[in-house]
Amino acid sequence: MEGIRQGDIPGVQLRRRQLVLGMTPAGLWPHLAEPVKLSQWLADRVRSEPGPPVVFRLETDQPNDSAREEYAEVVEWSPPRRMVLGFRELHADWRSATSLTLELHPVAQGCEVMVFQEGFQQLPLSLGLTVWERSRLRWTAALGRLAQLAELAS
């Protein structure tokens, strides 16, 4: 099991960083902004609805043959460096969205992806910590898949 990292506050906020070798922020941005590319690392199916605001709908298959559906409304769009989304699960008791920030930073070897998700404490008490833990594990795995995908493409 992965330990809690510095900057994480269980049930409130989480941070993840991932180095992506051989990619600039401009080269990696399409992997964060285009539904076809998002479906290669973040969810099984992604579609966008034109805005304003632009909305991404994500579906992730679950082991019991159901799909988790998520809704990500673009709050801030600053290509190729920063995107802020209002992120929530549909068909669940999410009364308000969490805030999800994705940032790309150039580094000598390529690009660093930073994920910051906060607002879990606004969810019902019975749900907040469970969603936080699921998100923590999800971002670790998803960012690993993104790094592998981007390295193959570079």
- Cβ atoms of 99 and 15 closer than 8 Å: no
pLDDT, tens digit, 9 for 90 and up, residues 81-102: 999 999 999 877 788 899 999 9
Which amino acid type is present at position 123? Answer: L
How many domains are there within the chain?
1
Structural domain for 128, as ranges: 13-32+71-153
With respect to residue 52, please indicate whether it lies within any of the assigned structural domains: no
With respect to residue 79, please indicate whether it lies within any of the assigned structural domains: yes
With respect to residue 145, please indicate whether it lies within any of the assigned structural domains: yes
CATH number for 80: 3.30.530.20
With respect to residue 1, please indicate whether it lies within any of the assigned structural domains: no
Instruction: Give the side-chain half-sphere CA count within 13 A for 104.
Output: 25
Residue 26 has pLDDT above 60, yes or no: yes
- Cβ atoms of 2 and 137 closer than 8 Å: yes
With respect to residue 90, please indicate whether it lies within any of the assigned structural domains: yes
With respect to residue 4, please indicate whether it lies within any of the assigned structural domains: no
Per-residue confidence band for 3, with pLDDT thresholds at 50, 70 and 90: low
